[in-house]
């Protein structure tokens, strides 16, 4: 993998069908099957099984943050930018899209007004009100877009897909699903996966974690298209840095085995109700400290669930407490390099 400095321009790509409709909450996505895993939920379980349980099984509410909502707005702008003719894809045009995309998001979720400090919205309690800070918050979103333009020239790009939902059922029966920010393709059939990040570039020790999500997408694309992506690319807009990586078949096969093993661990934890808390750097951004044993809290009773099994050789099992209920692992906010949750 390589960490690049600014002003790296990507290859020109050809369009093969563009997805342009973006819902800020992706509510239009179909319900996920029981034996299904997203990059976010996989990362949750690996970092803290109890956090995974609270998000995927209990589905406890979590507060939004200004950083997360800003990330949603920036992603929406970068998607809409490619609706414009190539010559009009300028930083000025992108900056002009910030306000409309914020209002579109706000219309879909009025409770987010408090998060960004918009005095026009009703109080909702998701975060302490920050009235009057909206202009500063919108300016910070525009600065992130400036970081994007230091990395790529969108006038030279015609993405094949944007905000593209991909899924595949592995031989084990496990379904993998996730959204790709951007997919570039060349006339020769090669393609590149691009993901935008609004957090800081991770340190060298955390590059592997940063690439986990893109390897997930690479595996899905390989299994559905029969071709390994030529490149995985992370664009860190906050400091205008690019992380590039080229996967190979052996690595993706090993990654598939890792995900199958991870799902077996999820199934065992669901069958036994044993979701261990794991203290770590993400704890400082977690909304569930009051329920976490590591912080002196007590988790609520585990809801009655049917163990979601992939066809991986595990015997059928049901968590105690009777009532059967399917658990769908829906997509959820990703995490920035510094651990702050962000919707992507």
Nearest Cα residue to 206 out of 335, 327, 58, 79: 335
* Domain assignment of residue 119, given as a range: 2-254+332-342
pLDDT at 318: 32
CA 6 to chain centre: 24
In a domain, 94, yes or no: yes
The per-residue pLDDT for range 78-110, each reduced to its tens digit, is 999 999 999 999 999 999 999 999 999 999 988
Global pTM?
A: 0.75
The per-residue pLDDT for range 286-325, each reduced to its tens digit, is 999 999 999 999 999 998 876 655 433 333 333 332 222 2
pLDDT at 26: 39
Average pLDDT for the chain? 78
User: Which CATH number goes with the domain that contains 73?
Assistant: 3.90.320
Share of the chain above pLDDT 70, in %: 73
In a domain, 274, yes or no: no
pLDDT at 191: 94
- The domain total for the chain is 1
In a domain, 277, yes or no: no
pLDDT at 34: 57
Q: Is the pLDDT of residue 333 over 70?
A: no
The per-residue pLDDT for range 231-269, each reduced to its tens digit, is 999 999 999 999 999 999 999 999 999 999 999 999 999
């Amino acid at each position: 993998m390589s960490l690049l400095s600014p002003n790296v321009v990507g290859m020109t790509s050809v369009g093969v069908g563009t997805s342009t409709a973006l819902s800020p909450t992706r509510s239009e996505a179909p319900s996920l099957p029981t034996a299904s895993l997203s990059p976010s939920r996989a990362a949750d379980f690996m970092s803290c099984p109890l956090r995974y349980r609270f998000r995927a099984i209990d589905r406890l509410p979590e507060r939004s943050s200004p950083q997360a909502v800003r990330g949603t707005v920036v992603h929406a702008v970068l998607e809409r930018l490619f609706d414009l003719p190539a010559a009009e894809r300028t930083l000025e045009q992108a900056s002009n899209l910030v306000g409309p995309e914020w209002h579109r998001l706000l219309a879909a979720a009025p409770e987010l007004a408090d998060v960004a400090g918009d005095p026009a919205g009703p109080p909702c309690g998701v975060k302490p009100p920050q009235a009057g800070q909206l202009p500063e918050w919108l300016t910070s979103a525009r600065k992130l877009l400036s970081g994007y333009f230091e990395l790529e020239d969108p006038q030279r790009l015609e993405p094949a897909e944007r905000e593209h939902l991909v899924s595949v059922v592995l031989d084990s029966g496990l379904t993998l699903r996730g959204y790709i920010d951007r997919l570039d393709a060349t006339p020769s059939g090669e393609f590149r996966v691009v993901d935008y990040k609004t957090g800081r570039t991770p340190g060298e020790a955390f590059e592997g974690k940063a690439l986990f999500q893109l390897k997930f997408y690479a595996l899905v694309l390989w299994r559905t298209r029969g071709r390994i992506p030529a490149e995985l690319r992370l664009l860190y807009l906050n400091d205008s840095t690019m992380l590039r990586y080229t996967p190979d078949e052996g690595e993706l096969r090993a990654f598939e085995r890792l995900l199958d093993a991870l799902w077996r661990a999820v199934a065992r934890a669901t069958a036994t109700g044993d979701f261990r808390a794991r203290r770590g750097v993400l704890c400082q951004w977690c909304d569930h400290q009051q329920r976490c044993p590591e912080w002196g809290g007590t988790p609520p009773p585990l809801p009655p669930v049917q163990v979601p099994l992939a066809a991986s050789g595990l015997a059928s099992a049901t968590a105690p407490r009777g009532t059967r209920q399917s658990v769908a692992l829906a997509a959820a906010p990703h995490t920035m390099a510094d651990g702050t949750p962000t919707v992507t």
